[in-house]
Amino acid sequence: MNKRWKVILTAIVLFFMMAGPAFALDVWEIHFRGEVSPSQARWLADAYDDAREAGAEAVYLLIDTPGGRLDSALQMAGTIKSKETIVLVDGGAISAGALLALAADEMYMAQGSTIGAAEPQIGGERADEKTVSFWSAELAAEAEKNGRDAQIARAMADDTIAIEGLVEEGRLLTLTAQEALENGMTDGVFRNAFEFEQEMNFNVLGSSGKTTRDLLADFLTSALISTLLLTIGIAGIMIEIFSPGFGFPGAIGLSALGLYFGGSVLAGISGWEAVLLFLVGLVLLLVEVFVLPGFGVAGIIGFIAIFGSVFIATPDPATAVQSVVIALVAAVVLVVVLFKFMPGRSLWSRLVLQMGETPDRGYVAAKAGLNEYLGKTGVAKSTLRPSGTADIDGRYVDVVTSGDFIAQGARVEVIDVEGMRVVVREIKEEMK
């Protein structure tokens, strides 16, 4: 009797062992495509939460990425390791994306896909040795954890590593799907995602797609768009500072900065404190321009507040400095080009005196011995910011204020003559 039961139990065990692969695996499907970025990291974490809530046994993650930020890749790799994950590289797992593929419990590749070229870079150049060493070690650790060749993973990030028959020194390693299979870096190669899903016999419980909010956050926080928005924003503010009054450039600049900070908030990079700090800085600049003409404490604090808000709205200080420098240089170039090639615009007219200051029009430069003008009054013939021209005793004279802003047409008084400088102040009309 005992012998019969042993035979039966053995048959049952063998049946389940053979039939096991036929049972479907409950998975949650996630398609990750595009740049590795803070907004993508936040979205992936939310998608894994969806998988857990649905009771999925594993996450089926499709990857096609050209790479992106290393800090975001580390965050996303942590998310991938938080739950059993089966990855299919369907396109590319390049640069930072290589870490995501290697972090999965199982990693497969579709034909035509590639993985590697993961050298960390800053500004298009190879990062410092410390960063390269750290990043290559991260790739090696993930590969080793899942039974893959750690040295091959290192060679994807460090071009000083040579592997005979695979990559020579001075070149980064990038593997095709077949090369990855031959070198044990993938668990299998399939013609396409459909064939892979059929072979794996997945029971897909659901999937996490991108909402309009997610797509907008991805777009606004991408490296190119965020820098462009910052450039336009700074240029708009610069134009308004040099051109008193609020007009089209200021509106465009504020709109661009609003999108810049809005994208940061949507992506979860920063909170509303960055927006609040920016608004404080903007108010201080407006006070400096309209209430306290000249450039003093309010203006300096305003600029500090605005640039501080940019640092808060950027994932890390290095990126913040890079973005600000690029945006500042680009904004200055943009402002100069606008002023030079569009002189007919009202903005240019407000900044530059259009009439030639020739002797036949009554213009006389200040010269030594003009003490006769001391104490005399006249009318500002151009806006004094702080220099310009005034009509004194029927003669146009180059004058300068002591730092105050004086509007065109205002009455002025000569308070000092210092060599070539005729210093004036505005005569305030007394209320009757």
pLDDT at 428 over 70: yes
pLDDT of 263: 80
Does 353 score more than 50 pLDDT?
no
User: Which of 158, 175, 209 corresponds to the end of one domain?
Assistant: 209
Q: What pLDDT sits at residue 320?
A: 66
pLDDT of residue 108: 97
Average pLDDT over residues 332-361: 55
Q: Which residues have C-beta within 8 Å of that of residue 7, sequence separation ≥ 6? A: none
In this predicted structure, the answer to whether residue 242 has a pLDDT above a threshold of 90 is no
CATH number of 137's domain = 3.90.226.10
Helix, strand, coil % over all residues of the chain, rounded to 5: 50, 20, 30
Residue 62 pLDDT: 96
Residues 263 and 187 in one domain: no
Highest mean predicted confidence (pLDDT) among 14-23, 42-51, 347-356:
42-51
Question: Would 156 be classed as within a structural domain?
Answer: yes
Report which of residues 131 and 232 the model is more confident about: 131
Domain-terminating residue out of 328, 350, 372: 350
The mean pLDDT value for 393-397 works out to: 83
- Domain membership of residue 432 (yes or no) is no
User: How many domains does one find in the chain?
Assistant: 3
Asked if residue 176 and residue 36 are part of one domain, the reply reads yes
Short-list 357, 403, 411, CA closest to 380:
411
Q: Is the pLDDT of residue 389 over 70?
A: yes
In terms of domains, do 117 and 253 share one?
no
Domain boundary at 162, 181, 209, which? 209
Mean pLDDT of the region 395-415: 85
The pLDDT, as a whole number, for residue 298 is 73
**Residue 159 covered by a domain:** yes
The confidence score (pLDDT) of residue 430 equals 53
Q: Are 36 and 122 within one domain?
A: yes
In a domain, 175, yes or no: yes
Interatomic CA distance for residues 335 and 30, integer angstroms: 45
| pLDDT band of 348, cuts 50, 70, 90 | very low
Determine the pLDDT at residue 366.
47
Instruction: For residue 93, give its domain range.
Output: 2-209
pLDDT tens, position by position, 329-346: 777 777 677 666 554 444
pLDDT at 21: 47
pLDDT band of 51, cuts 50, 70, 90: very high
Residue 152 has pLDDT above 90, yes or no: yes
Cβ atoms of 382 and 408 closer than 8 Å:
yes
**Mean pLDDT in the chain?**
80
Query: Is-above-0.85 flag for pTM?
Result: no
Give the CATH number of the domain where residue 409 resides. Answer: 2.40.50.140
β-strand 363-364 against 395-401: which pairing, if any? parallel
Residues 198 and 239 in one domain: no
Residue 269 resides in a domain: yes
Residue 2 confidence (pLDDT): 59
87 is a domain residue: yes
Lowest mean pLDDT, pick from 53-62, 106-115, 144-153, 290-299? 290-299
Tell whether 254 and 175 lie within a shared domain. no
Confidence of residue 421 (pLDDT cuts 50, 70, 90): confident
Q: What is the arithmetic mean of pLDDT over 151-155?
A: 95
Is position 267 within any domain? yes
Cα–Cα distance, 228 to 252 (Å, whole number): 13
Number of C-beta neighbours around residue 31 at 10 A = 17
| 155 lies in the same domain as 127 | yes
Residue 90 CA from chain centroid, whole number: 27
Indicate whether 302 and 194 sit together in one domain: no
Buried b (16+ CB within 10 A) or exposed e, 117-145: bbbbeeeeeebeeebbeebbebbbebbee
Burial of 17 (0-12, 13-18, 19+ CB in 10 A): exposed
pLDDT digit string, tens, across residues 261-315: 878 777 777 777 777 888 887 777 767 666 655 556 777 777 788 777 877 777 6
Please give the backbone phi and psi of residue 126, each rounded to the nearest 5 degrees, phi first. -55, 135
Tally of CB atoms within 10 A around 232: 22
> What SS3 string covers 9-53?
HHHHHHHHHHHHHHCCEEEEEEEEECCECHHHHHHHHHHHHHHHH
Per the domain annotation, does 69 fall within a domain? yes
Considering the domain architecture, whether residues 328 and 397 belong to the same structural domain is answered as no
Answer whether 27's CB lies under 8 Å from 204's CB.
Answer: yes
- 199 and 221 belong to one structural domain: no
Q: Higher model confidence: residue 61 or residue 219? A: 61
Cβ neighbours, 10 Å, residue 292: 15
| Whether residues 158 and 10 fall in one domain | yes
Distance CA 168, CA 6 (A): 58
Residue 127 tokens read as 């990062």
Is 89 in the same domain as 185? yes
What is the per-residue pLDDT across 112-128, written as a single tens digit (0 to 9) for each?
999 999 998 876 788 88
Q: Is the pLDDT of residue 246 over 70?
A: no
Higher pLDDT pick, 408 / 297: 408
